[in-house]
Amino acid sequence: MQLPQKPTPRVFSGMQPTGNLHLGNYLGAMVRWVEMQNSHECIYCVVDMHAITLWQDPGELKQAIRSVTAAYIAAGLDPDKSILFNQSQVYEHAELAWILNCVARLGWLNRMTQFKEKAGKDRENASVGLYAYPVLMAADILAYRATHVPVGEDQKQHLELCRDIAQKFNNDFSAAIRAAGFEDGTFFPLPEPVIMGPATRVMSLRDGTKKMSKSEPSDMSRINLTDDADTIARKIGRAKTDPHPLPESEAELEGRPEADNLVGIYAALADTSKAAVLAKFGGGQFSTFKAALSELAVARLAPVNAEMNRLLADPAEIDRILATGARKAQAIAAPIVTRAKDIVGFLRS
Ligand code: AMP
Ligand code: TRP
């Protein structure tokens, strides 16, 4: 198959298979990805191979892959518009990762802050996979010659590494790349991060200075996608606030992290601005605002929750969707990875 000289615009992103998705994931990642599918060619991957860089219970991993797939579909991701699949079904990711392992330098990986955080104090005991994690992520992206990668701020360093790897591959093999017909010597594009930044940072309901997170011990700190209406209302009702009424202007949210967070959540759920939310609720008491926010959160999340449960009741159908997605993904990745193997000097079968 003929590959285009210049990679066509293509979005790629990956999500870890975790069953415990929360409002931060929903507003910060899922809603954004769903939006992008209307204007771009999008490939979204459940990164199960990344998941096992830390030990996972095999039965729970299978469930988590289905669960995150169901959540994204429930949030509006359309498997007929976007490609949706799990990483381990498309072996080109592993194949290209090996080649890129031989391009990336130890010194580059030694700088990765996420490895240091995840490996903790006992680094000698971390898996080799955890160390090589960012190279597999580069392979995910480059196997599709993807040009745009929507990620959270925390993934920026990995994206920069991906660009360095792509650049070094292009340099190291420039003659072979030109000989293969890529006249400007570029085989891999340098993908652009599309940072879903602080505007969509949803903070903990118990502490407005901390990110809402699945790893926070208190369940009251987050709204899970699986929470029912009563639980959502209870969590918002008990959310931390300050003793002042809501301000009239956005500038006055400064220094009031809890108020800022709740107003931000309302704005994101209602698809409007914080200023518009304050125009409506400014000067009023938190109790009134919280009641309206609960109603809105339930109205937005209940259908997602219901659809997710409906999908999860038929795991075989989810598996079929992922298998179809994997076939479509592979149709794109196979000719690219075959060409990369040819460029580095492997013989074809
Ligand atoms: P994680 O649950 O940390 O693996 O994150 C999965 C995705 O959700 C990433 O794209 C994150 O940037 C996004 N995300 C996680 N927590 C939040 C949050 N509190 N606010 C906004 N986005 C978030
Ligand atoms: N490392 C990313 C995260 O933890 C997930 C991921 C894996 C990814 N491969 C990717 C994101 C490729 C974007 C592109 O969120």
pLDDT level of residue 197 (50, 70, 90 thresholds) = low
Residue 207 lies in a domain: no
Pairwise CA distance, residues 301 & 308, whole Å: 10
Count of helices and strands (H, E) across the chain? 15, 5
Q: Phi-psi category of 183—alpha, beta or left, where left has phi over 0 and alpha has psi -120 to 50?
A: alpha
Residues 280, 333 within the same domain: no
Query: Rg of the chain over CA atoms, in angstroms?
Result: 22
Residues 280, 133 within the same domain: no
Pairwise CA distance, residues 89 & 81, whole Å: 20
Residues 304, 322 within the same domain: no
Tell me the HSE value of 287 on the side-chain side, using a 13 A CA sphere.
Answer: 0
Residues 183, 285 within the same domain: no
Pairwise CA distance, residues 287 & 285, whole Å: 5
Give the orientation angle of helix 257-270 with respect to helix 286-312, to 10 degrees: 50
The enclosing domain of 277 has a CATH number of 1.10.240.10
The number of the ligand nearest the C-alpha atom of 29 reads 1
Structural domain containing residue 233: 219-309
Note every long-range contact of 71-75, with CB atoms under 8 Å and residues 24 or more positions apart, other chains counting.
71/21, 71/30, 71/225, 71/304, 71/308, 72/15, 72/30, 72/33, 72/34, 72/44, 73/307, 73/311, 73/321, 74/303, 74/304, 74/305, 74/307, 74/308, 74/311, 75/26, 75/30, 75/31, 75/34, 75/304
Residues 178, 236 within the same domain: no
Q: Is the CB of 212 under 6 A from ligand 1?
A: yes
Residues 244, 186 within the same domain: no
Contact between residue 44 and residue 77 where contact means Cβ atoms under 8 Å apart: yes
Catalytic, 341? Answer no
pLDDT level of residue 5 (50, 70, 90 thresholds) = confident
Beta bridge partners of 150: 194
pLDDT reported for residue 343: 98
Residues 226, 297 within the same domain: yes
Q: Is the CB of 24 under 6 A from ligand 1?
A: yes
The enclosing domain of 173 has a CATH number of 3.40.50.620
Residue 49 lies in a domain: yes
Number of domains in the chain: 2
Q: Which of 62, 168, 214, 240 is catalytic?
A: 214
Q: Is the CB of 225 under 6 A from ligand 1?
A: no
Catalytic, 211? Answer yes
Catalytic, 118? Answer yes
Q: Is the CB of 46 under 6 A from ligand 2?
A: no
3-class SS at 195?
A: strand
Query: Residue 147 above 70 pLDDT?
Result: yes
Pairwise CA distance, residues 333 & 90, whole Å: 8
pLDDT tens readout for residues 80-129: 999 999 999 999 999 999 999 999 999 999 999 999 999 999 999 999 99
Residue 212 lies in a domain: no
Query: Residue 180 above 90 pLDDT?
Result: yes
Distances (CA, A) of 331 to 6, 169, 182, 338: 18, 23, 21, 11
Ligand 2 atom nearest residue 158's Cα: 1
Look-up of token digits 């990679």: 7
Pairwise CA distance, residues 204 & 222, whole Å: 6
Task: Compute the distance from residue 194 Cα to the ligand 1 centre, in Å.
Answer: 14
pLDDT tens readout for residues 275-321: 999 999 999 999 999 999 999 999 999 999 999 999 999 999 999 99
Residues 294, 162 within the same domain: no
Q: Is the CB of 312 under 6 A from ligand 1?
A: no
